[in-house]
Structure 1
Amino acid sequence: MTETPLLDVRGLTVEAGRAEAAPRILDDVSFSLQAKRILGVIGPGGSGKTTLAHALVNWLRPPLEVTSGEIRFRGEDILAMPSDRSARLRGKTIAYVGGDPQGAMNPTMHVGEQIVEKLRAVEPGVSYKEARERAVALLGAVRIPSPEQRFGEYPFQYSGGMMQRAMIVDALIANPELLIADSITQPLDVTVGAQILKLMRELSERFDTAILFISASLPTVADVADEILVLEGGRVAEFAAVDDVISRPRHAATRKLIDELPKLWHRDGMTTAAATDKAQTVLSVQNVSRVYPIKSKSGLGKPKLLQAVRDVSFDIHAGENFGVVGESGCGKSTLMRLLTALEKPDTGHIVFDGEDIFGRGRAGTRRFRREVQLVLQDPFGSLPPQSSIGEIISEPLVIHNEGDRRQRRTRALDMMGEVGLDRSLYESLPTRLTAGQRQRVNVARAMILEPRLMIMDETLSALDQTEQSRLIDLFERLQAQHGFTYLFISHDIALVRRVCARIAVMYLGEVVELAANERLFFNPGHPYSKALLSAAPTLEDRRYRPEDCLLEGEPPSPIDLPPGCAFASRCPSAFDRCRKINPQPVYRGDHDRAACHLLQPEPVAS
């Protein structure tokens, strides 16, 4: 006797309105999901993944509407339920968590209190004490540092990665039968993402929870799911067990997704970097540190010091692609603010083109602002919705008083053509653009001043793998044409593998390793680098096993750093000296270096 599926979708069609020419967003989608199983949903941008997630919880908004099909949960059609009943089902029995945590919680309430309020609303018999204990335990389970303290903090005090984890806790708190997880690991660094995948598997096994796991990363889906559903243009291209989809893909869409994946462990998978002029240093970072005073809640006593960036040094050469990689909270964003002169370091120097960026005078600072451009992560929040695309791209020319209106329009149109935007979009607003198109607008806006250094701060992290691949190809072409120097700041180690010639690995404000691409991936010198590599989503055989390298526990607080190596509490190879003395960088050849006692030439007794 065949077991009745927990979720059974038959012939689901979603259209953008009832007009005869209305586009179909989902077209005759059918699949089933058994209890305790995990179904991964994968597809390129625009394939209908998020629309499917919203339809399953009866959460579509006009003009989108279901025009045919059924969504049966435990045999009952969700689409035919009264709205109040489907809302109750969605609140407790079916949970949803999306990939955009910003603005998802009330900014005036503590994060923990909102989670407790959610639990007590769906389970009225739970006491406040029990609800609080469950919330704190889950905050710790998803690796939010100091969960007791974070329970009482506001959403604005959480980083983007921590906010995503808090939303996962909010979804899991009532022990749902079905969890719909829509791109929840996309904004997270690889080690936290790996922990979330582990949590998903544990949840499914421990609480008999079925999970619909939607992701733009095929390796991530393959790592967590029992079956995979491939969407292409709103239709089901493939639906089969994970091994069948990966080893024997039947549809061209699936084969394309596999072919687009960056290769971590194949030497021919590394893009050849543009030729660099090592005699010309474009940017030199010399012993830079940044500390923030943190007042106590009472306002009394001496403020504590948060050490965001600690004694960081490196050089970037002309024409080079240089990467900075590390977990959330490692200091990447603070470093970006220092490199772009948005903040001044407490110690050290940042030298651009032979001159300190903070000692240039007014004219020199203006020139620096022109020659160093920044492209940020969020493709939606970084563009003013009331301005046309042409106005956005040409705005830097207005700020720097270059050209008249006709000349600025011509240059903006030329830039649109270079980054692959249709020129007919010049007068359009950015509200209807895809995430990939929005990032192309951001790139065009940065390029229009013909900078020498482009800083890409998590520029591709919000995009699916297809759009990432397209933009990487664009960056390579633009570099060949214009000779840019790129600095890629990212938590995506697969990205830096493909595009960067040298890579700096940061942990708790320090550069713990600086190495050429091939050495970092095939012979890393620091245990933390191995941990990042072990957690990177990939379909290849891993050189470093997660069970040997993957991080457990919480990183130390940057406010109360322990003596010795900051990584010692999480390092599988730590010994007594690591907990007492902070290691100094050891050079591995002329340029590569790593700060680890294991690299000391003399024997060290534990």
Structure 2
Amino acid sequence: MDMPPVLSVRDLSVDLAGPVAGRRILDAIAFDVAPREIVGVVGATGAGKTVLAKALVNGLEPPLTARGTVRFRGQDILNLAPRAMRPLRREIAYVGANPMGALDPTLPVGHQIAEKMRAVNPAVAAAEARRRVVALLDAVRIPSAARRFHDYPSQFSGGMMQRALLVDAMISDPALLVADNVTQPLDVTVAAQVIRLMRELTERFQTAILFVSSSLPVAREAASRTLVIDSGRLVEEQPTEALIARPRHAYTRDLVAQIPTIWTRSPALPRTGEPARDRSESSPVIRLEDVSQTYRVRERGTFAGTSALRAVRNVTFDIHKGDSFAVVGESGCGKSTLMRLLSRLERPSGGRILCDGQDIAPLSGPALLGFRRKLQLVLQDPFNSLPPRTGIGAMLEAPLRTHGWRDAGRIRERVRAVMNDVGLSPALYDALPVGLSAGQRQRINVARAMVLEPEILLMDETLSSLDQTEQFRLLALFEKLQRAHGLTYIFISHDLAMVRKACNRIAVMYLGEVVELADNERLFFDPGHPYTKALLSAMPTLEERRYRPEECLLDGEPPSPIDLPAGCAFRSRCPRAFAPCAAEGPHLVTRGAGALAACHRVTAPGARPVHADAAG
């Protein structure tokens, strides 16, 4: 006999009231979720996925209004008053896509979760709550869980915070968990661990999960059945594998068609700035020579003691004109620190970064301003990176005025030209960013960088917050801009599918070091480092995997950059570690055709160490 559904949704509609009254966000949504089932919800940005997720937990606020029914275990909860909802909060959990902003930054993570446990069950003593929370943090693979219990949210990586929030959600053994884009901000290995954890939670706690995602490949990893939402309507519902193999609705077919391929056929790779034969003869536009960055951090339990945190270690590579160069790796690998060094937001503690042969560390005054015109940064968050009360035209005018432009007519003409270049309507010149989609906002960020006619664009997770449709459009824009302006791109990213499509050369970082450097095709089809294979094995894809996750995928977090292990820093997680790995850390070794890897098992004929002047 079939069990009754945990969640039953019928004719759920949500409208936006106020000045734009009559706008329908969700229209007559209906579906069921059974106990221990993981149901996926996919769709583009603006389709209504997050509104649906919040409606299911009675979390909508004005000006949104809902009607229809949302039955949890037979009880309609859609319009329950807060007092009536309070007892149900222990049975219905919600986790959103912003892990770093979900907990109070002034209180330790473990203390907050323990307090929630005691609020849900007052009979639990403080010591028992702490013991249970530590056990659950350990169960979701938070390293050194007993110590991390006392750490603040700012001391957790994004992946660790997302797992901690799952503990926070599961602390009351809920019957329903609504996971709203929980893997979107995470790198591929951590996202794979979170999905695996959610599967375990359905077995351990008998929990039903609604898994909301902008990515169909990610939903495939998690969900047995998937709902497709377009413009607030449920357009298709099928078992996930059937939906991918035989999509019925035109919108679903478009979603499947837009997903980048990795191995089955070669994607349209970007043009390489210079032929490989010329690279050794030309000067790079960016050169890193043994670059390191070490921070001093306070030691817990001491008055003034500090430890050295080695965020970037001896990084060396060249970037040539017209390259689309990617730096990839897990959270905490040093990508963001490297971005700050490349953009001269920080000076390196060791080594040099050269731009057109000039060391950027000592730059100041007009020379630094000139470098900032040459290299521009496009940030990740399309919402918080734009001032909400400044018109779009004024935002784009500001960099020109900072760099000495004074003619108002000339400034306006330049801003309109760059808006046209990036696909923004001139009608938006005096508009505020409020109400614009994530894709439109990110185009404003690109325009803000392009207005100074830079030579290099540094993209710090620029596409990671966008759905696959918007990513598809912006990648086409980047390719057009590169052809028109001869730009050099540096992508800092955890999205390997995007990197496969957009970048011609890729550096892989682990615990502050570059462990592999290769051209696109070589890295994806013949990786030289086991860490690279682990990243590739964790990629969400609709294709048959070239590398098996059960053979390559990693568990847990990297070692602490404060207390680096002897030998190879990767050996504690490496499935192929052997005796030499404990004795000595490997150096980058050439594998031929410009490919490098730092692994003791690289045994290519003629393999030789690579020095700072030979990593281009």
Alignment TM-score > 0.5, same fold: yes
Q: Does residue 598 in structure 1 map to residue 601 in structure 2?
A: yes
Report if aligned partners of 2:58, 2:80 keep a CA contact under 8 Å in 1: no
Partners of 1:13 and 1:300 lie apart in 2 by 57
Matched letter for residue 48 of structure 2 = G
Cα–Cα, structure 1 residues 313 and 20, in superposed 2: closer, same or farther, change >3 Å? closer
**Match in the other structure for 1:27:** 27
SS in 1 for 2:78: helix
CA contact (8 A) 1:41 1:215 kept: yes
Residue number in structure 1 paired with 2:59:
59
Provide Cα deviations, 1:174-213, integer angstroms capped at 9, x if missing partner. Answer: 1110000000000000000000000010001121100000
- Provide the rounded CA distance (Å) in 2 between the counterparts of 1:31 and 1:19: 31
Separation in 2, partners of 1:251, 1:124: 50
Counterpart for residue 200 of structure 1: 198
Q: Which residue of 1 aligns with 2:331?
A: 328
Paired residues of 1:306 and 1:559 also in contact (CA < 8 A): yes
The aligned counterpart of 2:175 is: 177
Q: Which amino acid aligns with 1:549?
A: C
Which residue is equivalent to 2:448?
445
C-alpha spacing 1:385/1:76, structure 2 compared with 1 (3 Å) = same
Deviates more, 1:498-507 or 1:353-362: 353-362
Relative to structure 1, the CA distance from residue 260 to residue 141 in structure 2 (aligned partners, 3 Å threshold; closer, same or farther) is farther
CA distance in 1, matches of 2:393, 2:575: 53
**Structure 1 alignment gaps of length 5 or more:** none
Other-structure match for 1:242:
240
Q: Which amino acid is 2:243 matched to?
A: V
1:344 is matched with which residue: 344, 347, 354? 347
Please give the secondary structure, in 2, of the residue aligned with 1:557.
coil
- Deviation (angstroms), 1:298: 4.1
- Secondary structure of the structure 2 residue equivalent to 1:118: helix
Does structure 2 conserve the Cα–Cα contact (< 8 Å) formed by 1:145 and 1:555? no
CA deviations over 1:346-401 (Å, ceiling 9, x no partner): 11110001111124453322210110000111111111122111111111001111
1:292 to 288, 292, 295: 295
Residue 525 (structure 1) aligned with residue 524 (structure 2):
no
How far is the alpha carbon of 1:149 from its aligned partner? 2.2
TM-score when normalising by structure 2: 0.95
Identify the residue that residue 217 of structure 2 maps to in structure 1: 219
Structure 1 counterpart of 2:230? 232
Q: Which moved more, 1:489-498 or 1:397-406?
A: 397-406
After superposition, the Cα gap between the structure-2 partners of 1:20 and 1:268, relative to the gap in structure 1 and judged at 3 Å, is: closer
**Cα contact 2:399–2:452 (8 A) shared by 1:** yes
- Amino acid of the residue matched to residue 473 of structure 1? A
- 8 Å Cα contact 2:354-2:360 kept in structure 1: yes
Matched with 2:92 is: 94
Instruction: Determine if contact 2:289/2:351 at 8 Å carries over to the other structure.
Output: yes
Instruction: Select the residue among 359, 365, 368 that pairs with 1:365.
Output: 368
Q: Deviations over 1:406-454 (max 9, x none)?
A: 2222211221121111221211222222211111111000000000110
Cα drift, residue 294 of structure 1: 1.7
Larger CA deviation: 33-42 vs 287-296: 287-296
Q: Distance in 1 between matches of 2:63 and 2:413?
A: 36
Check 1:250–1:590 CA distance in 2 against 1; reply closer, same or farther (3 A cut).
closer
Contact 1:8 1:72 in 2 (8 A): yes
Please tell me the residue identity of whatever aligns with 1:446.
A
CA–CA distance in 1 between the matches of 2:300 and 2:205? 38
CA distance in 1, matches of 2:21, 2:571: 62
Deviation at 1:600, TM superposition (A): 3.4
More divergent stretch after superposition (75-84 vs 325-334) = 75-84
Q: Does the 8 A contact of 1:238 with 1:254 survive in 2?
A: yes
Distance 2:320 2:79 in 1: 63
Letter of the 2:258 counterpart = E
CA distance in 1, matches of 2:117, 2:375: 48
Cross-structure match for 2:487: 484
Question: Structure 2: how far apart are the matches of 1:409 and 1:193?
Answer: 44
Secondary structure of the structure 1 residue equivalent to 2:434? helix
Match of 1:13? Answer: 13
Q: Specify the alignment match of 1:69 in structure 2.
A: 68
Amino acid at match of 1:586: V
2:307 to 293, 304, 308: 304
**Equivalence map 1:422-441=2 (5 Å):** 422-441=425-444
Judging changes above 3 Å, is the alpha-carbon distance between structure 1 residues 346 and 178 closer, same or farther for their aligned structure 2 residues? same
Three-state SS of the structure 2 residue aligned to 1:393 is: helix
Q: Structure 2 vs 1, CA of residues 313 and 522 (structure 1 numbering), >3 Å: closer, same or farther? A: same
2:502 to 499, 504, 512: 499
Aligned counterpart for 2:399 among listed residues 366, 376, 396: 396
* Alignment-derived partner of residue 82 in structure 2: 83
2:264–2:543 CA contact under 8 A, matched in 1: no
The change in CA–CA distance for 1:338 and 1:475 in structure 2 (over 3 A counts) is same
Q: Is the 8 A contact 1:273 1:499 kept in 2?
A: no
**1:6 touches 1:35 (CA, 8 Å); kept in 2?**
yes
- The secondary structure found in structure 2 opposite 1:597 is coil
Q: 1:144 aligns with which of 133, 142, 147?
A: 142
CA contact (8 A) 1:525 1:599 kept: yes
Identity, in percent, stands at 56
Pairing of 1:378-393 with structure 2 (within 5 A): 378-393=381-396
Amino acid of the residue matched to residue 597 of structure 2?
A: A
Deviates more, 1:274-283 or 1:185-194: 274-283
Instruction: Give the whole-Å Cα distance in 2 for the aligned partners of 1:472 and 1:324.
Output: 17
Are the aligned partners of 2:270 and 2:324 in contact in 1 as well (CA < 8 Å)? no
CA contact (8 A) 2:591 2:604 kept: no
Q: Following superposition of structure 1 onto structure 2, how do residues 545-560 of structure 1 map, counting pairs within 5 Å?
A: 545-560=548-563
Provide the C-alpha distance between the structure 2 equivalents of 1:181 and 1:506, rounded to a whole number of angstroms. 29
Q: Distance in 2 between matches of 1:123 and 1:273?
A: 60
Preserved contact between residue 58 and residue 79 of structure 2 (Cα < 8 Å):
no
Once the two structures are TM-superposed, the CA of residue 256 in structure 1 deviates from its matched residue by 0.8
Tell me which residue corresponds to 2:613. none
Aligned partners of 2:137 and 2:164 also within 8 Å = yes
What residue is the counterpart of 1:113 in the other structure?
A: 111
Contact residue 56 and residue 70 of structure 2 kept, 8 A: yes
- The match for 1:355 is 358
Q: Name the SS for the 1:201 alignment partner.
A: helix
> What is the distance in 2 between the residues matched to 1:419 and 1:3?
52
Residue 85 of structure 1 deviates from its aligned partner by: 1.8
Which amino acid in 1 is paired with 2:235? A
Structure 2: runs of 5 or more not aligned: 607-616
Secondary structure at 2:143 match in 1: coil
Separation (CA, whole Å) in 2 of partners of 1:563 and 1:239: 52
User: Partner residue of 2:378?
Assistant: 375
CA distance in 2 between partners of 1:519 and 1:594 (Å)? 12
Separation (CA, whole Å) in 2 of partners of 1:361 and 1:236? 56
Residue 118 of structure 1: CA displacement? Answer: 1.0
C-alpha distance in structure 1 between counterparts of 2:104 and 2:85, whole Å? 23
Q: Please identify, of 134-143 and 289-298, the stretch whose mean Cα deviation from structure 2 is larger.
A: 134-143
Cα deviation, residue 2, structure 1 = 4.7
